[in-house]
Structure 1
Amino acid sequence: MINQFAGSLVKYRAWYALLSLILIVALGGGLASLHFESDYKIFFSDDNPQLLAHESNQETYTKSDNITFVIAPKDEAVFTPDTLSSIKQLTDAAWKMPYSSRVDSITNYQHTWVEEDDLVVEDFVLNPDAISLDRLNELKAIALSEPQLVNYLISSRAHATAVSVNLNLPELMAEADEATVEVVEYSRALRDKIEADNPNLKIYLIGQTVVNNTFNEMSTQDMTQLIPIMFLVIVVLLQAILRSVVGTISTVVVIGVSVLVTQGFMGWVGYAVNQVNVMSPIIILTLAVCDCVHILNNYLFNLSRGDERIAAMKESLSLNFQPILLTSLTTAIGFVSMNFSDSPPFQELGNISAFGVMAAFVFSMTLFPFIVLLLPMKARPIAKMSNSSKLTDSIAQFAISRYNLLFWGLLVFAIILVSFMFKNELNDDTVEYFHEDVPFRQAADYTQQNLTGFDMISYSLKSGESNGVNDPAYLAKVEAFSQWYLSQPEVVHVSSFTDVIKRLNRNMHNDDPEWYRLPDNRELAAQYILLYEMSLPFGLDLNNQIDSDKSSLLLTVRVKDQKAQQLIDLDLRAQQWLMENAPEMVTPGASVSIMFAHIGQRNIDSMLTGSLVALILVTLTLLVALRSFKYGLLSLLPNAFPAGMAFGIWGIFDGEVNLAVAVIFAVTLGIVVDDTVHFITKYIRARKIHGHDAKQSIEYAFTVVGKAIITTTVVLAAGFFVLAFSSFDVNASMGLMVGITIIIALIWDFLFLPSLLIKVDSIKQTEQTTAIMKEATS
């Protein structure tokens, strides 16, 4: 039946090619609907508990969208007339930034003091150009004694400072992305102007909006740089290994149309391009190569032994249709299992890649034969064994002659290597998503080393009643929680409104340090807050710290140099403190940092289930397709071990995994199966059709498919290793891990799989021989 279908694919190749062309045009129409989304929220499902907690805080208080200008004077002195003048200039200009809703800096910090019986609230620095040295020193002393400023807007040595800009971006994600680009461009232009006006200053840009824009830029960079490089690498490798211009051209066409229809599919189903699924073209590029190489390898072999072109293609399609269909299905199953991921971009990547794999299969069976047979190609006679054939023959002889040693040695080595995978720890870090050459990473590193922490955790502490923030008992518990957090070694700053209340209480008692404490009278606290609110200028109100009915306060903690699990542990300790000391105020810690810390762990847990399901489905598929329980079951070891061994290597040399690494097994499962299926199907063919014994069947499999497996492995590994050069670490880690896994799979299938097949079939053959002898003697 397969032979007849293969014949029809060749006989009616023009019609099949026409149908393929119609499919390409139809799906390609979806390209017009593609757009880019870079917001951090795309990583989270709508019901993600950390996302819901974060959005609740944003609805109650102010949004967390932010750009911060971190100012580093080269003379390491913030309190000079020129530097303060530049900070004031930057602060004033930041108010004019598109979507700006609030600007905080040391120059417009609302300093409070008492003149006779009046509370005065005014900008901390009014006229920096006409300021005396004594006043500068006085301002510096005041700033460094203010908890609201130190390690947030001013460093403890007053050698670095910041201007923080809160933004009110559009709700719609597409509009928010456009606004993000506009805001960052404005910020960069403003930064460049201030630096040009004051050469003493170096200004860095950080903040969640900068992170979103950097995601966007890194994805664009990967699309415009890595994919062309990847494409070039594939073309060069194909030509170098296959030495067939027609074969290379035909393969490149199939690659191109597979990527095109896959991107069109994205548009039709409504997927937006993001920093994760942007790598789907690279995955499709590499996977489309496999199908074409296997067909072309056997086609060229048939030509070299004297077959006519039509007959050579029929034979190649007949030989490869089942294994290519199997590998396409199992690869698609592996990618579809990514729907178990808790992060939508990885779910989308799985669906897109699964579609692309099947599209590549269709085009390799229809369009590829048409192009190969259309273009002129001369057969190369087998004058002598090629270098690749010599290599595969040498490997075959080595694997056969030492099969027992290889089986036990590699099995023990694999088990030991897999055991090291448990040394890996989840350590997602938003800052470390980007390489050190990325401007945002440099800004974040400088900020954490010199000013404040990048990661934040916020708590909406409820009093349980309207105007409850005036209650001294409630304020005392908030203050105790704040002080507990300040005692934690990883915390650099805590923003709590209790500091403002204590300062106001001191102000109203002639700035006597003894009165820097919370008022013990509810009415007095209410008067302080009302008096302070009435004195604040427009845009610098208390909405970022107190909710509308004054029933809760927002306490924000800034942390530096902490990984995902450390942030989770810190929040757990805070929850425990609240349970023991203020159970009525227990509330989840919320922030973008906490969201990413949890999503990594949730992704690993969900993908463990997905990978197990995928492995079971792939094994069942092979059991049915190969019509052999034994060979289907035997495929488990070579399919499951490579990813585990790769994780073991990662555990030895790195030990830290991020959000992307959790989906490695799903990404590589189908790719690894490709080698296994092609090798086992050729082995079974030799056993059943040619009547070879186990060792002869191993030699046959190496002869027929060895070169193709080496070719696909080299091309696939090279393709994914290109991803390792991405400046976005999520893509880089995935590319490196997949490349390592593919190489391990080649070694495993060339050395362990033959020894496994020989041992199993030799045992069976021995049992059969023994049974025959017993029957003969009886």
Structure 2
Amino acid sequence: MEARIAAALVRYRLVLFVVGLLSLLVLAAGARDLWFEGSYRIFFSDDDPYLVANDQIEASYTKADNIAFVVAPDDGEVFTRHTLQALRELTEAGWTLPRSIRVDSITNFQHAVAEADDLLVNDLVPDPDTLSDTDIAQLREIALAEPALAGALLSRRAHVASVNVRLEMPGDSRETSEVNLEVMQAARALRDDFEARYPHLDIHLMGQVVVNHAFNELAEADAGTLVPAMFLVVVVLLALFLRSVGAVAVTSAVIIASIVATVGVLGWLGYQVNQINVSAPVIILTLAVSDCVHILVHYLNDLRRGMAKPDAMRHALEINVAPVFLTSLTTAIGFFSLNSSDSPPFRELGTVVGFGVFAAMFFALVVLPTLMLWLPARVRAQTQFQQLHLAGLADRILARHGLFFFGTSAVALVLIAFMPRNELNDDTVAYFKPPLEIRTAFDFVQDNLTGVDSVAYSLDAGAPNGINEPAYLHKVEAFKTWLEQQPEVTHVASFTDVVKRLNRNMHGDDPAYYRIPDDRELIAQYVLLYELSLPQGLDLNDAITFDKSATRVSVSINNVASRGLIAFEQRAAAWLEQNAPEFAAQGSSVSLMFAHIGQNNIYSMLRGSLIAIVLIALTLIVALRSVKFGLLSLLPNAFPAAIAFGVWGLVDGKVNLAAAGVFSITLGIVVDNTIHFFSKYLYARRQRGEDTAAAIRYAFSTVGAALLVTTVALALGFLILAQSNFAVNATMGLMTAMIIGIALVFDLLFLPGLLMRADRASAQRQPAGARPV
């Protein structure tokens, strides 16, 4: 079968080459409308319950999309005339940002005071140039005592302040991406202008729009740097190993075609480029190298032995067409299993790379032969590295195969024992590596102003205008009090603070009346009077619904990893169930969404990994025509991922969203080396009639150097991915590279001993017509 396929690939190479080019053109056309989609929403399915809850809250109150200008004066004091003037100007300038619908700061905070029967509501900080030092000191005291400001828009030491701009972003994701860019350009220009005009200020940009844009920028940066870096590494590696300009050029052509096809598939499937699937070209680049190297090594070696070019290519294809197809199939199965993920970008990555793997195999079989046979047959003498057939290593391992078998098994078991030390504990702040601008801002806000994570609750009063009921407000206040007592919480914003402040104002600012009134009508009158006094754009829509049937409680939380955030959510849900079940409130926020997707993803990916194991095992059994060898070939590949996670548990112990898919990804990749090894081993056993030890030596000598080169190429590719400033991709790259390296060592040291125990049959007579490879 392999001989007939190889002969056809050589005989009809020109036709197949044209078919390959036409296929490439068709696939490439899918990339014409691709664009970067940077929103956090890409990580969640439309029916994700936490996304749905978050959307419902945003539909009921002022949108959460925002940019915050976090201002830090170098003298450590916000309440100076110069800094207050800058804050007031920045607050006014915030309204000029595209799509701005609300701007909040300490300067325009609506401070209420009562005069006789009138309620006067004005900006807390009027023109700073008209204020005396005594006025400024008094304003500082008022601001630090105001629950809506201290710990939110103003640090509790009054050394940092924030100007928060709320924005109405479009619903269409592509338009949102474009508006994000427009808003960020305007915000950065505004920041730079103020830092130039007020040199004593440092201004950090924070907020949901900033995070979305950071995702976008990181995706573009990865696409623009990681792929070229890996391509350069591959070219250098191939040049050193193959010592053939033509072979390097042809391999590069196959790689480029495979990447173009993969990106085209992304478009044809209706996906857009995002921070996760942007790594697909890097992955395909590394995987395409493996197919080419195995074919070219045999082709160039046959040319050195004096074989004619068509015959050498036919022989190289005959030997490799089955293992290349098999490795492509198993690798694709591993990636396709990512479709069990709860997070759409990982499903997209698995699907696109799965198709890309078959594209790389297709171009290696139909483009490479034609181009290589067109080129002049100039083959340089082999380097010492190329002559490293590993036969000597095979002899040393076989001489002590028991020691290597049980030794590697013992080391593996010891390292695997450390797997439970790992904790899936996502930290959304840690997604961005220092010293990225967004990470610097995150860390600064966390250390100096307030928590960067949040959870919001919409507490239903049960009827329109129900928020005026004293009993309802007392329960809301009790929940707020409980929240403030939690160790993770840095600030709680609640409508009850407004009601209590108004009650105090209407009683001559007597502190004794800073409480919720017991009269529904009185509360309604206070709120109506306050609303009529508020300027446009600074109403209560961020705290109460339009029909006054519910209020929002917003909780700022210290940067805690996903387990801590979920634990807080569960405690809050338990309190509400016990004390106010009628609220039927579910906590929601972007931070909470990421916390749950990370936890849920590990379980969904475990299911996908089990499916992948079964499918790969069945594939190997059928391909190797042996249940025994199919299962044996799978066995050494079940250990490397577990070993790597054990090592990770020793050195780090924290895994993020990406770790859930690493086992599925690597299972399909690391089995490739075993397939190539077993294909040569079984050829020696079945065709050459070798005994077990001789067949092992034959496998080492025929594929040893190629396995080393392809493993190095794969490991380097994923190590380059590990240089991404997006920690999810970086973790996936680093762990995958580690598993690939461990797999090769494990194959070389463990597999001979396994075969010596599981395949003890003696040498068989070489069948007639069988020829050596």
Q: TM-score, normalised by structure 2?
A: 0.97
- Are the equivalent residues in 2 in contact too, given 1:33–1:270 (CA < 8 A)? no
Residue aligning to 2:154 = 154
> For residue 440 of structure 2, what is the amino acid of its counterpart?
Q
Secondary structure of the residue aligned to 2:418 is helix
Q: Distance in 1 between matches of 2:281 and 2:391?
A: 35
Which stretch shifts more, 46-55 or 406-415?
Answer: 406-415
> For residue 299 of structure 1, what is the amino acid of its counterpart?
Y
For residue 729 of structure 1, report the CA deviation from its aligned partner.
0.7
Query: What whole-Å deviation, never above 9, does each CA across 1:501-528 have from its counterpart, x for those lacking one?
Result: 1111111111111111111111111111
Matches within 5 A, 1:8-407: 8-380=8-380, 386-390=384-388, 392-407=390-405
Residue aligning to 1:773 = none
Secondary structure of the residue aligned to 1:635 is helix
- Are the equivalent residues in 2 in contact too, given 1:341–1:347 (CA < 8 A)? yes
Matches within 5 A, 1:521-600: 521-600=519-598
With over 3 angstroms needed to count, the CA separation of the structure-2 counterparts of 1:79 and 1:381, relative to structure 1, is closer
Residue aligning to 1:750 = 748
Query: What whole-Å deviation, never above 9, does each CA across 1:364-417 have from its counterpart, x for those lacking one?
Result: 0010011111111224567xx833544612321222112111111111221221
Q: Distance in 2 between matches of 1:132 and 1:432?
A: 44
Q: Distance in 1 between matches of 2:660 and 2:284?
A: 20
Q: Distance in 2 between matches of 1:403 and 1:641?
A: 18
> For residue 73 of structure 1, what is the amino acid of its counterpart?
P
Q: Distance in 2 between matches of 1:241 and 1:140?
A: 70
- Are the equivalent residues in 2 in contact too, given 1:238–1:715 (CA < 8 A)? no
Residue aligning to 2:660 = 662
Residue aligning to 2:706 = 708
Q: Distance in 1 between matches of 2:755 and 2:306?
A: 32
Residue aligning to 1:776 = none
Residue aligning to 1:733 = 731
Q: Distance in 1 between matches of 2:670 and 2:420?
A: 22
For residue 765 of structure 1, report the CA deviation from its aligned partner.
5.2
Secondary structure of the residue aligned to 1:70 is strand
Structure 1 stretches of 5 or more lacking a match? 769-778
RMSD of aligned Cα (Å) = 1.3
- Are the equivalent residues in 1 in contact too, given 2:389–2:703 (CA < 8 A)? no
- Are the equivalent residues in 2 in contact too, given 1:67–1:206 (CA < 8 A)? yes
- Are the equivalent residues in 2 in contact too, given 1:575–1:586 (CA < 8 A)? no
For residue 269 of structure 1, report the CA deviation from its aligned partner.
1.8
Q: Distance in 2 between matches of 1:297 and 1:388?
A: 9
Q: Distance in 2 between matches of 1:587 and 1:542?
A: 20
Residue aligning to 1:490 = 488
Secondary structure of the residue aligned to 2:417 is helix
For residue 723 of structure 1, report the CA deviation from its aligned partner.
1.0
Residue aligning to 1:771 = none
Q: Distance in 2 between matches of 1:268 and 1:381?
A: 45
Query: What whole-Å deviation, never above 9, does each CA across 1:448-484 have from its counterpart, x for those lacking one?
Result: 1000111100000111122111111111110011010
Query: What whole-Å deviation, never above 9, does each CA across 1:571-618 have from its counterpart, x for those lacking one?
Result: 000001111111111311100000000000111110000001001100
Q: Distance in 1 between matches of 2:4 and 2:155?
A: 77
- Are the equivalent residues in 1 in contact too, given 2:389–2:700 (CA < 8 A)? no
Give the share of equivalent positions with the same residue, in percent: 52
Residue aligning to 1:774 = none
- Are the equivalent residues in 2 in contact too, given 1:113–1:119 (CA < 8 A)? yes
Residue aligning to 1:411 = 409
Query: What whole-Å deviation, never above 9, does each CA across 1:414-462 have from its counterpart, x for those lacking one?
Result: 1221222221112212211111110010011000100011110000011
- Are the equivalent residues in 2 in contact too, given 1:333–1:670 (CA < 8 A)? yes
Secondary structure of the residue aligned to 2:390 is helix
Aligned residues: 764
Q: Distance in 1 between matches of 2:178 and 2:343?
A: 23
Query: What whole-Å deviation, never above 9, does each CA across 1:217-252 have from its counterpart, x for those lacking one?
Result: 111111111111111011011111221211111100
For residue 668 of structure 1, report the CA deviation from its aligned partner.
1.1
Residue aligning to 1:761 = 759
Residue aligning to 1:676 = 674
With over 3 angstroms needed to count, the CA separation of the structure-2 counterparts of 1:571 and 1:314, relative to structure 1, is same
Q: Distance in 2 between matches of 1:727 and 1:390?
A: 37
For residue 174 of structure 1, report the CA deviation from its aligned partner.
0.4
Residue aligning to 2:770 = none
- Are the equivalent residues in 1 in contact too, given 2:684–2:690 (CA < 8 A)? yes
Residue aligning to 1:457 = 455
- Are the equivalent residues in 2 in contact too, given 1:607–1:663 (CA < 8 A)? yes
Which stretch shifts more, 583-592 or 347-356?
Answer: 583-592
- Pairing 1:724–2:725 present: no
Q: TM-score, normalised by structure 1?
A: 0.97
- Are the equivalent residues in 2 in contact too, given 1:328–1:358 (CA < 8 A)? yes
- Are the equivalent residues in 1 in contact too, given 2:160–2:449 (CA < 8 A)? yes
Residue aligning to 1:772 = none
- Are the equivalent residues in 1 in contact too, given 2:389–2:702 (CA < 8 A)? no
- Are the equivalent residues in 2 in contact too, given 1:33–1:268 (CA < 8 A)? no
- Are the equivalent residues in 1 in contact too, given 2:389–2:704 (CA < 8 A)? no
Which stretch shifts more, 644-653 or 42-51?
Answer: 644-653
- Are the equivalent residues in 1 in contact too, given 2:391–2:701 (CA < 8 A)? yes
> For residue 731 of structure 1, what is the amino acid of its counterpart?
N
